[in-house]
């Protein structure tokens, strides 16, 4: 209990800052074995890339959060780790200039594998404060040593006028990106609401600026700003305000990752679906788990469930 599992990686469709280049869990799943809410065991996919026929239920399990089936066996395609990793840090950029710099870098031939922007003060909460307080716009380049050196030099030429540049390599680079992956700047043990927002990268900083005009919020940007981590400083998730602004600035998804129990009970944790999509999801849930046994209420309000009540459970034990 309290620890992640490889099945949970698929069920939550987890990913990290490398998603730009490597994808998420669903992009690497080859096959699964699982048990549905009917109590029926089933398999989908296989152990090699070309052994996938019929409905791709393996992909369906991604981001289902355990509401469709219990995964008993999963097969992933894996990739070799990079020989060399170097992160180029641009210092002191405002959010809009950082978004422009990241877009320029990602559109170049440098094959940037990760891009993130840590605004002023947020940078100090990463990697033991090794980045200091100044804003840090981070670009990771990976591969064979000579190739990485060439591409880092190309990025320096491209972004030479953007601001001061620093190189971070080896374990220091690893620890910086691990902290970004794990949302370390907001992993402070408090109950201040934390949101994970996915939207168009070019609109992210504009949405955050509009939000800050109406509510106190701290933020940092991953995936060139397409993924935004937000912490609401006054304790109210401001769900309607935030989701309204996300729709206003091109649409996306806002997931409430952390909040006080009272707020989590009152606010939809996942982005509410359009009625047609919600109806489709409900039919899919009914096919796999008609008695609503598996994670009732996780992704939609719980209706009737076959889960035993407290008194019955005590008697059964």
What is the C-alpha to C-alpha distance for residues 113 and 22, in angstroms, rounded to an integer? 8
> What does the pLDDT profile of the chain (317 residues) look like in tens digits?
467 899 999 999 999 999 988 999 999 999 999 999 999 999 988 777 665 566 789 999 999 999 999 999 999 999 899 999 999 999 999 999 999 999 999 999 999 999 999 999 899 999 889 899 999 999 999 999 999 999 999 999 999 899 899 999 999 999 999 999 999 999 988 899 999 999 999 899 999 999 999 999 999 999 888 899 999 999 999 999 999 999 999 999 999 999 999 998 899 999 998 999 999 999 999 999 999 999 888 877 665 444 444 433 333 33
Which among 61, 4, 69, 18 is positioned nearest to 290, based on CA atoms? 69
Burial (0-12, 13-18, 19+ Cβ within 10 Å), 221: buried
User: Cα dist. 23→19, 49, 223, 284 in Å?
Assistant: 4, 16, 11, 25
CATH topology of domain 84-181: Alpha-Beta Plaits (3.30.70)
Topology alike, domains 6-76 and 189-266: no
N- to C-terminal Cα distance for the chain?
Answer: 21
pLDDT at res. 188 = 86
Q: Are the C-beta atoms of residues 152 and 167 closer than 8 Å to each other?
A: yes
Neighbours of 6 (CB within 10 A): 12
State in words which class domain 189-266 has: alpha beta
Q: Are the C-beta atoms of residues 159 and 218 closer than 8 Å to each other?
A: no
- Angle, CA 42 vertex, CA 38 and CA 43 arms, to 5°: 155
Residue extents of the structural domains in the chain: 6-76, 84-181, 189-266
Q: Which CATH number is associated with domain 6-76?
A: 3.30.465.10
């Amino acid at each position: 209990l309290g620890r992640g599992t490889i099945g949970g990686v698929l069920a939550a469709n987890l990913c990290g800052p490398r998603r730009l280049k490597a994808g998420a869990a669903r992009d690497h799943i080859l096959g699964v074995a699982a048990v549905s809410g009917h109590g029926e065991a089933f398999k989908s996919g296989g152990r090699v890339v070309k052994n996938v026929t019929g409905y791709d239920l393996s992909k369906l399990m991604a981001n289902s959060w355990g509401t469709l089936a219990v995964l008993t066996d999963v097969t992933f395609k894996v990739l070799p780790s990079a020989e060399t990793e170097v992160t180029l840090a641009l210092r002191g950029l405002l959010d809009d200039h950082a978004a422009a710099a990241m877009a320029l870098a990602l559109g170049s031939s440098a094959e940037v594998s990760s891009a993130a922007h840590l605004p002023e003060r947020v940078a100090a909460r990463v990697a033991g404060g090794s980045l200091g307080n100044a804003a840090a716009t981070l670009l990771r380049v990976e591969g064979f040593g000579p190739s990485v050196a060439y591409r880092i030099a190309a990025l320096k030429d491209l972004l030479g006028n953007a601001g001061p540049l620093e190189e971070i390599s080896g374990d220091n680079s690893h620890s910086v990106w691990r902290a970004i992956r794990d949302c370390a700047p907001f992993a402070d043990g408090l109950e201040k609401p934390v949101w994970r927002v996915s939207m168009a990268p070019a609109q992210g900083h504009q949405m955050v600026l509009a939000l800050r005009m109406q509510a106190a919020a701290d933020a940092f940007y991953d995936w060139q700003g397409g993924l935004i981590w937000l912490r609401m400083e006054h304790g109210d998730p401001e769900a309607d305000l935030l989701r309204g602004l996300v729709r206003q600035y091109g649409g996306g998804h806002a997931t409430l990752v952390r909040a006080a129990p009272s707020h989590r009970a009152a606010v939809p944790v996942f982005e509410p679906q359009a009625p047609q999509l919600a109806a489709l999801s409900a039919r899919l849930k009914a096919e796999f788990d008609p008695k609503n046994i598996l994670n009732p209420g996780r992704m939609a309000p719980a209706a009737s469930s076959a889960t035993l009540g407290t008194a019955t459970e005590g008697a059964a034990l």
